[in-house]
Structure 1
Amino acid sequence: MREAVSSTSHQQLVTWLEEQIPRWMSQCKLPGFSIAVVHDGAVCYADGYGARDPERNLPATADTLYGIGSVTKSFVAL
């Protein structure tokens, strides 16, 4: 049986993500970004960064849906 993520390691992950994601967004020139981290089938972190619609200044959230066209044909889930 797997151990649950400890609150210390969870907080370390959150701190690291909150430091890194804005940097990655800047480097890649991304206006918005949403992320979910799943551990043992449960979402342990979900958030949005930046804007989902920069022209209307609408924020990205953990629930933002992004139109990505037909690139989903190449996705594989394990």
Structure 2
Amino acid sequence: MVVRDILAECGGVIRWGGDESVPKESHFQIDVAPGDRRLKALAGRIDAWHRAPGQGPGAIDASLPERQRAARAMERVQAR
């Protein structure tokens, strides 16, 4: 569930290979077109997380009910 929590925090910009028809769980990719405003926004958020350790995906309790709901919602959107 932690991988899905991170994907949800990234707002659908990152796609996980575990959701492909032939799963490749070690694979992650940017899932928006070059120049997409969401990519720039995510880059800014990641930069902010880098400057504030303990913030952002992976540093938050992924077992919280609201985070699990968000992770399941992202799974429904991205799983093919």
TM more than 0.5: no
Higher strand proportion: 1
Larger radius of gyration: 1
TM-score, length-normalised on structure 1? 0.28
Q: Considering fraction of residues, name the structure with more helix.
A: 2
> Whose RCO is larger (CA < 8 A, sep 6+)?
2
